[in-house]
Structure 1
Amino acid sequence: MATINDVSRLAGVSKATVSRVLSGSRGVKEASRVAVLKAAEELKYRPNVIAQSLYSQSTNCIGVICAQENVNQTTAYLYALEKQLSQHQKHLLLRFAHTKAEIMTALDELNCGLCDDVLIIGARFPLNIEDDNVILINCTEAESPNSIQYDHAFAAETACNFLINNGKRQIALIHPDTAGAADRVLLGYKLALENNFLPFNRNLVFMDSLSTSVALQVLLNNASTVNFNALLVANEQEAQNAISQLQAFNKSVPGDIMVFSLAGSLDLPGIPTIPAIEYSMDVMASQIVSWLTEKTQHMLGSSVLRGDLIIPDMRKR
């Protein structure tokens, strides 16, 4: 088994330099950093995590409390974070929690020496956490000193503009408050209608606690009096359910009704690929890891991430 001495000799640098590179410390020349990483890879060297922790008073572990119920999006978050963290010799410790009590319990556990910092993803209720080692990601009403939020108003406005430009001027919006940021979504929706000189029809908007399937059933039952040719939903799972329901009513997608997802898109067998707003998990993970490694409070603060418009025929397959 290779040791730090072996890496030092092969890279042509001191053991201290090897230690600084592998711990992610700053102040190392780029040439030395590259040489150390190359030597470590060639020798298949793995540092002793416990010894490193005792020496540096740091676990190099980042706790992740996932309250995000969208399975596909959860996977994307974790994959991007693990990839970025591993490049800085940091490790991910995962917990799942779906209530405020569960989140606070997990946070107390992770903060008791298991992790240096904690990320909380996708909580749909106020947490009011003021710890400077906690980052809230896409959480409702984030009050943390450090948070990353999606620009939901911009997403809804972009989605509506796209639909209108494609001749879909009767846009139904189903975004239950349980999905989070309903007020911001509604703001973007109204702004797009106003800018395109379209009236706001309250009968096309469902923002209360109704499920997407129930709200869509109401729309379909009232089709004789309330016409719609586009449907805006919170995420890809809601879109998938809506598409199946529309097809059961002999509505073609996107022919009769164009479905648009405000968070992620579908590319599944038998399901039409739909336009969507997608958020770069790699960009978000890179921003988070930069803050974690630099640890200066002014780097993050309250940050907003805007999504990209993804159009079906432009997707990379």
Structure 2
Amino acid sequence: MRIKDIARLAGVSPATVSRVMNNNGYVKEEKREAVLKVIKDVDYQPNPIAQSLKNQKSQMLGVIVPKISTETASRVVAGVTEVARAHGYQVLIANTDLDIDEEINYLKFLSNKSVDGIIMMGTEVTDQHLAVMDKLIVPIVILGQKVKGYTSIVHNDYDASYTMTEYLVKQNHRDIAFIGVDEKDEAVGIVRKKAYLDCLNNYKIDVNDRLMAIGDFDIDTGYQMMQKILSYKTPTAVLAVTDHLAIGAIHALLDAGLDVPNDVSVVGIGDIKLAEYLNPPLTTVHYTFKTSGKMAAETVFELMKNPEKQGDTLMTTFELKTRASVRVL
């Protein structure tokens, strides 16, 4: 089905069909309705390649994710896709599997104008990243990390971690263990840890370095770090900086013959879907990951129109989800 075929069926000229499809130029309402009816009746699908050549646009957004299998990434991508679809765009997903070199390679690949904008879920933003990003000719939004000079959408990691630590303190916990991640990830590794330490200090609670363990993001790490802490002392509560780490910690506690929450309370951050179905359901912080994906996409489209706005930092909200994994002492 070609434009001239639609024109013939609608009883108008090909130029009129073109104006309706591109929403460009005046068309009488009855003719517009006739063209739109034919397009709907024949289920006409424009050729995206031909359109991109004509408009000098790819109609594509690139999304670089650190690990596509995580719930966080899937929620973000769902938000991006929803907004992209509303703008007539499709989404190209690049999964780096937490490999920095792959992130660099994908940035280089996407920078040749194969997409009209890029959203990168940041974990560690290095000088190598910045060297490539500085050469981009399309707008980029960083999600999850604040990067100077680039539009960033960040989670309120400090307040979320502080609020969760304070919640444990208000349940009369004082021996609060901490399971974190490497400080290469500034938001999760540095900011959430700082909030935990600041909260303890503000409440005049001694910080015990032996109740703190640092590892990776996966469940196995949570298990191993909990075992390490238990080899020194059994705390009354554990703050894990992600829900996956919290799940690993719970399993380590159960294998050690301890009960959650009667012996040890456990909390996380992230509110993955599994969190409310654990036994006991996990107290955690709910981040609006899908909303942040929508924010990132809307911001990219805004930067396409107004590139001079590059450099703003936007912050998402959070909500404390109190469930049965915490006991009041």
**TM > 0.5 fold call:** yes
Distance 1:260 1:238 in 2: 10
Post-superposition shift, 1:55?
Answer: 1.8
Distance 2:53 2:74 in 1: 32
> What is the match of residue 193 of structure 1?
200
> What is the match of residue 297 of structure 2?
289
Does the CA contact (< 8 Å) of 1:280 and 1:307 recur in 2?
A: yes
Post-superposition shift, 1:174?
Answer: 0.9
- TM-score when scaled to structure 1? 0.79
**Counterpart code for 1:122:** G
Of 164, 179, 185, the residue aligned with 1:180 is 185
> What is the match of residue 154 of structure 1?
159
**Counterpart code for 1:67:** P
> What is the match of residue 203 of structure 1?
210
Distance 2:115 2:143 in 1: 17
Post-superposition shift, 1:173?
Answer: 0.8
Distance 1:38 1:92 in 2: 28
**Counterpart code for 1:165:** K
Post-superposition shift, 1:160?
Answer: 0.8
Distance 1:278 1:116 in 2: 31
**Counterpart code for 2:280:** P
Q: Secondary structure at the match of 2:285?
A: strand
- Which ranges of structure 2 fall in alignment gaps of 5 or more residues? 11-15, 25-34, 325-329
Q: Evaluate the alpha carbon distance shift between residue 310 and residue 235 of structure 1 in structure 2; reply closer, same or farther with a 3 A threshold.
A: same
Post-superposition shift, 1:42?
Answer: 7.2
> What is the match of residue 118 of structure 1?
118
Distance 1:251 1:149 in 2: 36
> What is the match of residue 99 of structure 2?
99
Of 212, 221, 234, the residue aligned with 2:231 is 221
> What is the match of residue 173 of structure 2?
168
The correspondence of residues 298-317 of structure 1 with structure 2, limited to 5 A, is 298=309, 301-312=312-323
Deviations 1:32-57 (A, max 9, x none): xxxx9999777644332112211211
Does the CA contact (< 8 Å) of 2:154 and 2:314 recur in 1?
A: yes
Distance 1:312 1:42 in 2: 52
Q: Is 2:37 aligned against 1:46?
A: no
Distance 1:205 1:281 in 2: 27
Post-superposition shift, 1:190?
Answer: 2.2
- TM-score when scaled to structure 2? 0.76
Does the CA contact (< 8 Å) of 2:77 and 2:290 recur in 1?
A: no
Q: Evaluate the alpha carbon distance shift between residue 151 and residue 71 of structure 1 in structure 2; reply closer, same or farther with a 3 A threshold.
A: same
The correspondence of residues 16-35 of structure 1 with structure 2, limited to 5 A, is 16-20=19-23
Does the CA contact (< 8 Å) of 2:62 and 2:110 recur in 1?
A: yes
Q: Evaluate the alpha carbon distance shift between residue 179 and residue 253 of structure 1 in structure 2; reply closer, same or farther with a 3 A threshold.
A: farther
Q: Evaluate the alpha carbon distance shift between residue 14 and residue 2 of structure 1 in structure 2; reply closer, same or farther with a 3 A threshold.
A: closer
Does the CA contact (< 8 Å) of 1:138 and 1:150 recur in 2?
A: yes
> What is the match of residue 137 of structure 1?
143
Q: Which structure has the bigger radius of gyration?
A: 2
Post-superposition shift, 1:184?
Answer: 1.2
Of 235, 240, 243, the residue aligned with 2:247 is 240
Higher relative contact order (CA 8 A, sep 6+): 2
Does the CA contact (< 8 Å) of 1:291 and 1:299 recur in 2?
A: no
Does the CA contact (< 8 Å) of 1:259 and 1:275 recur in 2?
A: yes
Q: Is 2:265 aligned against 1:255?
A: no
**Counterpart code for 1:222:** Y
Q: Secondary structure at the match of 2:113?
A: coil
- Which ranges of structure 1 fall in alignment gaps of 5 or more residues? 22-35
